[in-house]
Amino acid sequence: MDIALVNSLPYDDFVDVFGNVVERCPIIAAAVWSGRPFSSTADLEASIYEFIDALPESGKEGILRVHPDLAGRDLQGGTLTQESREEQGQAGLDTLTAAEVSRMARLNTEYKRHFGFPFVICARMNNKATILQQLEERLGNECTREKMHAIDEVKKICRLRLHALVVQERSNKL
Amino acid sequence: MDIALVNSLPYDDFVDVFGNVVERCPIIAAAVWSGRPFSSTADLEASIYEFIDALPESGKEGILRVHPDLAGRDLQGGTLTQESREEQGQAGLDTLTAAEVSRMARLNTEYKRHFGFPFVICARMNNKATILQQLEERLGNECTREKMHAIDEVKKICRLRLHALVVQERSNKL
């Protein structure tokens, strides 16, 4: 799909395609459709980030709270979204040892109790070792800073999901 | 469930319970959790409306655009949310004649093309006759006014879904 085709989509098809570029937040794709036409994938991406950044703090926390736990009940129960399943799988989170599952669960619980939202990280840019390391490190962050960090991870995830859906434009410039 | 129990829920349980009081917008329940404790169901309801009202226009349009068509492809394909299935069924939209299905589809298409979002109405407060009548009438509305009307319907749907989940408090006042 190229950007011209993206711009030609009626809203329902647009939401079908892009509804999960931010996990379980189809409202975001549905909202940015108002701003079409997009000049490029980068322009569509910027519209999504602009929408996220304009949300009140509770809205940003809401985005984080609809994310699944890493290696959590949704992975184990088969109820992850397709995108999350592939991303957690690629990072090796579906083949953890019992000890690793237990450690991840303990850290996730601690993180959620402390911050009031789940640990979010771009799994495609990590592996199980770096994810566990980051989880431990970020547990020590101050809350506002950690929320900003988590939203940055949401954007990294969004960028990779978006770029998997839209063919990149070749530059016409020499 | 009473409001004390609602206030005791961790965010993930809260989102499991209230995630669809606004259709396909779990981010809204996940966001208002930040404002707990709620003094009453009315207080929780007010928090949801406040969040909706504070969204930019594109965000309100986004809420509308993730709603299913009435008597549309999701009803026919069995992909409605449970809440929508029950509401559309109660209004008689699952037992339309072929002529009624055809009329509804034609009007829905016209409405969506005109406004850029689907026709939203609180089905529990209507029946197939009043729904078709409203759809024809509202097609003639000016766009900004119609969007406000549609968001008011989202709130009516939300109120009924919410009150089906939380036991109403008895007033302690004489």
Residues B37 and B75 in one domain: no
Q: What angle do CA B92, B97, B103 make, to 5 degrees?
A: 95
Cβ–Cβ below 8 Å for B62 and A30: yes
Range of the domain at B133: 69-149
Chain A residues in contact with B24 (beta carbon < 8 A): 26-27
- Identify the DSSP state of B172: -
Residue A155 domain-assigned?
no
Nearest-Å Rg of the Cα atoms of chain A is 17
Reply yes or no on whether the pLDDT at B136 is more than 50. Answer: yes
Q: Is residue A4, in this structure, part of any structural domain at all? A: no
Chain A and chain B share a number of CB contacts under 8 A equal to 105
Q: How many structural domains is chain A composed of?
A: 1
Q: What is the pLDDT of residues B54-102, one digit of tens each?
A: 999 999 999 999 999 998 989 989 999 999 999 999 999 999 999 999 9
If asked whether residues B58 and B81 sit together in one domain, one would say no
- For residue B59, the chain A residues in CB contact (below 8 A) are 27, 31, 51
Q: Is residue B7 part of a domain?
A: yes
Is B40 in the same domain as B92? no
Q: Does residue A90 belong to any structural domain of this protein?
A: yes
- Would you call B67 a catalytic residue per the annotation? yes
Question: B24 and B49 share a domain?
Answer: yes
Distance from CA of B174 to the nearest CA of A (A): 37
Q: Is A27–B51 a contact, with Cβ atoms under 8 angstroms apart?
A: no
Q: Do A58 and B15 touch (CB under 8 A)?
A: no
Per-residue pLDDT tens over the stretch A130-163? 999 999 999 999 999 999 999 999 999 999 999 9
B5 alpha carbon, distance to own chain's centre: 24
Q: Do B57 and B79 belong together in one domain?
A: no
Put simply, the chain B residues between 83 and 112 with a CB less than 8 A from any chain A CB are 112
Catalytic residue among B67, B114, B149, B163: B67
Let me know if residue A8 belongs to a domain: no
Instruction: Look at residue A173 and tell me if it is in a domain.
Output: no
User: Residue A164, exposed/middle/buried by CB under 10 A (0-12, 13-18, 19+)?
Assistant: exposed
Q: Under 8 Å CB-to-CB from A122, ≥6 apart: which residues?
A: A87, A153, A156, A157, A160
Q: Is residue A123 part of a domain?
A: yes
Encode pLDDT of B113-134 as tens digits: 999 999 999 999 999 999 999 9
State the average pLDDT over residues B42-52: 98
Binning pLDDT at 50, 70 and 90, where does residue B172 land? very low
B85 and B114 share one domain: yes
**Residue B26 contacts A where some CB pair is shorter than 8 Å:** yes
Question: B171: distance to nearest CA of chain A, Å?
Answer: 30
Altogether, the residues listed in chain A come to a count of 174
Average pLDDT of A60-71? 96
Residue B168 is assigned to a structural domain of this protein: no
Locate the chain B residue with the closest alpha carbon to A19: B66
CATH number at residue A121: 1.10.3330.10
- How many Å apart are CA B76 and CA B74, to the nearest integer? 5
Measured between beta carbons, the chain B residues lying within 8 angstroms of A25 are 27
Q: Is the pLDDT of residue A37 over 60?
A: yes
Show which of residues 5-24 on chain A sit within 8 Å of chain B, judged by CB atoms: 10-12, 15, 19, 24
Is residue B60 within 8 Å of residue B149, measured between CB atoms?
no
Residues A80-125 pLDDT 10s = 999 999 999 999 999 999 999 999 999 999 999 999 999 999 999 9
For residue A118, list chain B residues with Cβ-Cβ distance below 8 A.
12
Hey, are the CB atoms on A34 and B28 less than 8 Å from each other?
A: no
